[in-house]
Structure 1
């Protein structure tokens, strides 16, 4: 008997980085995500195969139970060791799932290209949490850390406001349906950005961010409730300026698209993955001419 688990991908519209320090963030679950299929067998381990959206295999290993129950640390970080770390943490939170079984055949299937950065790790963590019947936020915290907004997106089928209060995730379901959704596009920047390294860089540079956090909170509310495209784009551009100052990094528009007649905002880790584009005219020809071939309408991307 096979059991299938599924989690949504994510895009963080406001609050990147500062969400780690309590800022309110607007996040959108995507129509793309990841399946995890579990079948019991008797191999005293887990035969694990991961498929990209095109059906190609990007990970194929057998992990013995002894590697999961062990407490021996790893000398190097690899895909296999990252997976074992997640499984070890899940096992520590609920040992019964492994102790009551002789083995598993597990496969994962992305419905988006792995390089897109829509949440390969977060959808995996949420799926494993469902499998082990444990809290996904605790699994994330005990394994790799992070704000947890991506876990919230994995679990919800509508836009959310997300923040951390007293070290606990606060998720509020909201409506985000402005009358200019047809002017919103997502463009992939042709490279995957490491959230882990980006967060580490942010932590090195941040100072006292209380004032900036409150401003970002206000911007998030403005973006969520904007009654017209002008107030929406002004809020996004203000957000970019604030993060540019904090991160000591030029905005993506300044760096890559200074001649674009519209608004461009980084999403999540700066420097890669997707950007949000707001344009009254279809911008696809502009980005195609620049060598950016993945341009997705809002309605095609967001749940």
Structure 2
């Protein structure tokens, strides 16, 4: 019997890094995500295939049971990581894969893997749905992290997210932004290592008032009715995070002559940024070689 699970991708507008210490973050689920289909296989074990948006296969492996744990045939890092996630799920729900079962799993991304929209978080959320376990607990037992990306995988609207304990809290919010047509995302042509960014952040000293300031900005954005107020809040946010992690803002490092606001999203230095401006302003980024530009309303659920 074929079963298919689907989870949404993620983008973090506010609270990058400091969400780990309890700051309130504003995050978005994206219109892009990942599906996972489970069906009966041809041989005993678990045959796994992963597809890119164009339908081409980028990863394949075979896992078999050995002393109650799934073991991949190969030793490549992707196979080992997949096995560790599935084994973490089996520890939480031992019955979801029978040791003598023949299973074929196919995952399919809606977005390019270098976009950083959550190929790992959508995978974890889909595996958790398959195993009928708590996805936040599966994340904690495998990759770790703040968990906002898991909340995005499960959400269908923007949300405020807080992580104070093992069980995070998040709630859907309404954005009164009538200027959404003047917001767009730009891919920086490289994927950022979020774990490296977190390691850098862990060395920083973050005063409680910094966390409060970020939380305040996240909440004020829900009451933002003008583009100028929106830009002022994002620029204040960039300044605070820059001070905490001791890195220049993306505008200072790459786009000093851009006339409008540019905001990093998630780990600084890669993936997408959010920019404000008109369709004519987008030509600025194309001239610099950034050709993947997506309007806000086409990216965000």
Conservation of the 8 A alpha-carbon contact between 1:42 and 1:102:
no
Report whether the alignment pairs 1:241 with 2:245: no
Alignment of 1:45-194 (within 5 A): 45-66=45-66, 69=69, 78-99=77-98, 102-194=101-193
Residue 293 of structure 1 is matched in structure 2 by 291
Conservation of the 8 A alpha-carbon contact between 2:41 and 2:47:
no
Question: How far apart are the structure 2 equivalents of 1:255 and 1:63?
Answer: 45
Gapped regions of structure 2 (runs ≥ 5)? none
Task: Give CA-to-partner distance per residue, 1:44-70, whole Å, 9 cap, x none.
Answer: 321000011122211111111228716
Residues 216 and 236 of structure 1, relative CA distance in 2, 3 Å threshold: same
Conservation of the 8 A alpha-carbon contact between 1:53 and 1:114:
no
Count residues with an aligned counterpart.
299
Question: How far apart are the structure 1 equivalents of 2:116 and 2:147?
Answer: 15
Alignment of 1:253-264 (within 5 A): 253-264=251-262
**Deviation of 1:103 (Å):** 2.2
Report the TM-score, using the length of structure 1 for normalisation: 0.95
Conservation of the 8 A alpha-carbon contact between 2:8 and 2:154:
yes
**Deviation of 1:77 (Å):** 7.4
Question: How far apart are the structure 2 equivalents of 1:123 and 1:68?
Answer: 25
Question: How far apart are the structure 2 equivalents of 1:120 and 1:84?
Answer: 16
Report whether the alignment pairs 1:10 with 2:2: no
Question: How far apart are the structure 1 equivalents of 2:7 and 2:64?
Answer: 25
Report the TM-score, using the length of structure 2 for normalisation: 0.95
Question: How far apart are the structure 2 equivalents of 1:263 and 1:138?
Answer: 37
Gapped regions of structure 1 (runs ≥ 5)? none
Question: How far apart are the structure 2 equivalents of 1:163 and 1:282?
Answer: 37
Task: Give CA-to-partner distance per residue, 1:67-112, whole Å, 9 cap, x none.
Answer: 87169xxxx8711111111001000000001237612100100001
Task: Give CA-to-partner distance per residue, 1:247-294, whole Å, 9 cap, x none.
Answer: 110110011110001000000010000000011453221110000000
